[in-house]
Amino acid sequence: MQARDEAGHLSPLSAPITVTTLPPPPSCAVRSVVRQWPDGFVAHLVVENTGSTAVNGWTMTWRFWAGQQVQGIWGAKTVDRLNNSYLRVGNTSRNAVIPPGGTVSLGLVATGTQLPEEITLNGGLCTVADE
């Protein structure tokens, strides 16, 4: 690319740049089975890769209120709490790859009454269905 000044002089050519386009986030569906009590719940989530390419390494995020605490988790590991309003979990070494049409299972025991919703997988919003 060249720039032109007011007198019409051209600048030297700029160095070329390389642009990398990120792949779109995966598409996913989540089925959940929840058992709830007055101030807590246990949730079992089955996450399906509904896309056409494998997911290799994943993080899931869902709404999780500030006062809630994870008391136990399996099939995933806690990564962090985003803005103290969302819980982010990641794959384990055993379930990092989700092939097209494949599923992974995870679960948690937590305090509070806010059940997993607004679930994303690697940034893509999942459809959610309760069983």
Compute CA distances 108 → 6, 15, 41, 67, whole Å: 65, 51, 8, 16
pLDDT at 130: 66
Task: Name the pTM for this structure.
Answer: 0.77
Segments of the chain with pLDDT less than 50: none
pLDDT digits (tens, 9 = 90+) for 18-41: 777 766 678 899 998 889 999 999
d(CA 54, CA 100): 5
Domain annotation for the chain: domains and CATH numbers: 28-130 (2.60.40.290)
pLDDT at 20: 75
pLDDT at 113: 82
pLDDT at 26: 81
